[in-house]
């Protein structure tokens, strides 16, 4: 078990899945141990270029924070403030994108967007194929984001959401089990302890 590897799989299609922590270089994208990204269309090593969109942290001071043991499917996107056109302006034209053309100072550029802040993804989150996570959203531990869902609001821990915009489908477990899981925080265990308890984890045995 080594989350510092790039490719955790062997055999056919081994290079379609990567440990994100090993390939992301942007200090404003923080990824926990063993979180994987799969991409059968593009090189998964290009995650921060292809999947983290309109991310201008020097201007908007935003971060993407992803917890441990997350599973991110092909084409999932994280959409930041720079992709918005402000609603408070008289025009929707993106003047701040062209500051030299219009003589805009940096502070005016940053102020021009409706900044909703960081995207925070908890631990053990599964993000489905081509799902879109919008700026300012927090997704709780153990949540599942359905295929092509567009997540515009926070998602509670261990909740399944889907649709456009994403709506709650159901909880994965009853409230008592969710409280136990949040207290257990198995993703913070040493990897050897996780390995020793895999049968119970994989078979839903609290």
Which residues are catalytic, by number?
Answer: 85
- Sheet with 126-127, side-by-side order of all strands: 17-19, 36-38, 71-72, 126-127, 144-145, 159-162, 167-171
Q: DSSP assignment of 15-66, as one string?
A: GGEEEHHHH---TTEEE-TT-EEE-SSS-GGGHHHHTEES--HHHH---EEE
**Residue 70: φ, ψ to 5°:** -85, 155
Residues 109/128, Cβ–Cβ less than 8 Å: no
Q: Which residue has tokens 């159901």?
A: 170
Q: Which two tokens stand for residue 182?
A: 């949040």
Q: d(Cα 94, Cα 198) in Å, to the nearest integer? A: 50
Q: d(Cα 166, Cα 178) in Å, to the nearest integer? A: 21
Q: Strands 167-171, 159-162: parallel, antiparallel or unpaired by DSSP?
A: antiparallel
């Amino acid at each position: 078990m080594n989350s510092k590897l790039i490719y955790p799989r062997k055999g056919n299609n081994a290079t379609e899945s990567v440990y994100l922590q090993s390939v992301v270089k942007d200090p404003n994208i923080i990824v926990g141990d063993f979180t994987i990204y799969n991409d059968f269309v593009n090189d998964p090593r290009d995650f921060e270029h292809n999947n983290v969109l309109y991310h201008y942290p020097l201007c908007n001071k935003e971060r993407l924070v992803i917890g441990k043991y997350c599973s991110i499917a092909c084409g999932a996107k994280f959409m930041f403030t720079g992709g918005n056109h402000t609603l408070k302006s008289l025009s929707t034209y993106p003047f701040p994108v062209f500051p030299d053309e219009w003589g805009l100072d940096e502070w005016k550029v940053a102020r021009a967007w409706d900044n909703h802040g960081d995207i925070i993804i908890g631990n053990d989150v599964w993000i489905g194929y081509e799902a879109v996570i919008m700026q300012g959203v927090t997704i709780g531990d153990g949540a599942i984001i359905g295929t092509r869902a567009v997540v515009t609001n926070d998602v509670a821990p261990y909740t399944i959401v889907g649709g456009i915009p994403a709506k709650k489908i159901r909880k994965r477990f009853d409230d008592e089990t969710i409280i136990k899981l949040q207290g257990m925080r198995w993703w913070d265990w040493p990897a050897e302890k996780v390995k020793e308890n895999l049968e119970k984890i994989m078979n839903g045995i609290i």
